[in-house]
Amino acid sequence: MLKRLKQITWIVLASTMLMGNVAHAATQEKLSINKNGIKVWTYQVENNPVMRYRAETIVNTTLENAVGLILDTEKGKKWIPYVSDLSVIERNDTTGKFIVYMRLDFPFPLSDRDLVVEGKLSKLSGGKIVFKNKSITDSRVPIHTNIVRIQQYEGDWVFQKLGAQQVKVTTSGFADPAGAIPLSFVNNFVQQQPYQMLQRMKQQVKQSNYTTKDIPEVLH
């Protein structure tokens, strides 16, 4: 196994931690933020006041460098808000499947959150790289009395190569944060967090130099 891949904890999950419950009917997307080359669309689903989002930007780097940054645990802690713990429970670099534990530290007086996520990495025929994640229950991860366990979560990342040094990055998803969180905090988070995250990512990728050897076999 590659040294960096041994540290993978799939920080891609953090981008979609507070996006609302699963539902069927959705309202039309609204372009909530459009600045510094980053766009964030938000929308709501039927019988749910919490917004969901989709965000995208263009990163001036190679596809391998963008994906490698997302998979680097130590770097992720520098630019993904709220994440305090990321632990791999199991991982298969050949199939791209993994299970990970994540903890989020929220500002007082909100309780911290955690969750167990099952994910899958894949490379589509057109060259796009896709990360798909969803929450699961796992007996290896006990529920802590002082942390709220997130039970409903799904989130995707898509990386599309536009040129030798240009990658389109898209992230979207939702989660039921569970417990007591003011709706105003959640909806503001939905808009601002993906914007801030992508903004930090664009800066962090300038300091990185990941190549094909730094990403799982399934993505080659």
The closest of 107, 117, 92 to 11, measured between CA atoms, is 117
**Phi-psi group of 216: left, alpha or beta (phi > 0 → left; psi -120 to 50 → alpha; rest → beta):** beta
pTM of the complete model: 0.83
C-alpha–C-alpha distance, residues 184 and 10, integer Å? 28
| Helix residue ranges, H only, the chain | 63-70, 73-79, 183-204
Parallel/antiparallel/unpaired status of strands 129-136 and 148-149: unpaired
Position 109 scores a pLDDT of 84
54 close to 170: Cβ distance less than 8 angstroms = yes
Domains of the chain: which residue ranges?
5-214
- The CATH class given to the 5-214 domain equals alpha beta
Phi, psi (5° rounding) for residue 194? -65, -35
pLDDT tens-place values along the chain, 220 residues long:
444 444 443 444 444 444 443 333 456 889 999 999 999 998 877 666 667 889 999 999 999 999 999 888 667 777 877 888 888 899 898 999 989 888 888 888 889 999 999 999 999 989 999 999 999 999 999 999 999 999 888 889 999 999 999 999 999 988 777 777 777 777 777 778 889 889 999 999 999 999 999 999 899 8
Which residue's entry shows tokens 């240009």? 166
Contact 150, 144 (CB under 8 A): no
- What does residue 123 show for φ and ψ, rounded to 5 degrees? -120, 120
CA–CA gap between residue 105 and residue 108 (Å, rounded): 9
The span from the CA of 59 to the CA of 57, in Å, is 6
